[in-house]
Amino acid sequence: MSHPWHSISGGVTAPAGFLAAGITAGLKASGKPDLSLLLAPEGAVCAGTFTTSLVRAACVDLCAERLKASGGHARAVLTNSGQANACTGDRGLIDSQRATQAMADRLGLVAEEVLICSTGVIGVPIPMNTLLAGLDPLADALSAEGGSAAATAILTTDLIDKQIALEAELGGRRVRIGGMAKGSGMIHPNMATMLGYLTCDAGVPADVWQAMVKRAVDRSFNAITVDGDTSTNDTYLAFAAGDPLSPEHFEALEAGLTAVSQHLAKAIARDGEGATCLLEVQVEGAGDDAAARAIARTICGSSLVKCAVHGRDPNWGRIVAAAGRAGVPMDPDAVALWLGEHQLMAAGQPLPFDRPAASAYMRERAAGAYLTDDTVLIRLQVGSGSGSGRAWGCDLSDQYVRINADYTT
């Protein structure tokens, strides 16, 4: 984690002035929390990144249009879990507009200041009577300690909630950044992740903030994959509100923004449906950082690589084969490859290595699931360029098939 930032508690409500809530409104048959609200202070700027899929939920377009029309300003985001409200025709937009108008009325805002995100089964509309009945108790539950409840209420197939908060002294003042996210399956984002939210109590111009968020997303959510599928609802919203921060501290602020985003992105990859370990691929020597990230993400997304990791099989040929189809230049004769501390290739040629020990390395990583030592690390040198990048994924297990084979039945 980048200096000068350090971890604190509180999630999205750790930054000053932010309130959040999460309740069980009855949107899910499971009876689990399913309705979440995040409220930013007056004057907040908001940067958004959204799915690039042509099949997208109406709430995605509504968020993007409102942020564009406002010049990057918003006050609140409402999240319903259980129904994606995607591919539901005109009703999808009408319901999103009704929900945000009703929420705005309860908060004393105009509808355009309220955004909405939905997650769940595609093709299933929101049970609006249930959602609308939940808005009063949701607004009443808003609290500066509501970050954890909000982080729980946005989940679907996730096994754990995903939240973080960081603090630093910048320019003689305390600055905090908080974040929460959800995602476990249908993760191969071309913008951000399934759903993610970030809060910051430093004032930053909207255009500067949007540029920071985009760069952070490229190095985090756009560098993860679980199953190669991009969602119809992918949304990442980042709010900033507070006393203006001097431009000399923007670089440090972006470092914190990136650290929060990477923590959440890795938590999603680690919690991939049926996964037993986190996979991290580091690439060096590419033409530029974007090329390095492309190679790393291609390796992380390879079903053959993911299956080999799950089987604890150090089948390095699958790794270099995936690197070769990433669509960016690389020199096969310069390839060097490591699995943990085990070097498998040098100068494009295989090296003798202790296969049982390399297999044991992966087995030990899986045994530490959800701990700090559960990462299977692959390092790849692809040339002498200055580009470097990382990507994260997970192994592919039979449990993933079972979860998704029975998802709606």
Q: DSSP string of 285-300?
A: EESSHHHHHHHHHHHH
Nearest to 38 by CA among 177, 183, 141: 141
Q: End-to-end distance of the chain based on CA atoms, in angstroms?
A: 42
**Residue 382 DSSP class:** -
Distance of CA 75 to CAs 90, 96, 143, 352, Å? 26, 16, 15, 59
Q: How is residue 224 written in tokens?
A: 């993860």
**Residue 41 DSSP class:** P
Residue 51: active-site member: no
CB under 8 Å to 159, separation ≥6 — which residues?
184, 271
Catalogue the E-assigned strands of 89-203: 114-121, 162-170, 173-182, 195-200
Report the run of H or E that residue 318 belongs to, with start and end.
Answer: helix 316-324
Q: DSSP string of 19-69?
A: EEEEE--S-STT----EEEEEPPTT-EEEEEE---SS--HHHHHHHHHHHH
Catalytic entry in 13, 193, 276, 298: 193
Question: Which amino acid, residue 269?
Answer: A
User: Residue holding tokens 């946005």?
Assistant: 154
Nearest to 316 by CA among 289, 293, 346, 292: 346
Helices marked H in 141-288 = 147-153, 206-218, 250-270
**Residue 145 DSSP class:** T
Contact 12, 153 (CB under 8 A): no
Q: Which residues are catalytic?
A: 193
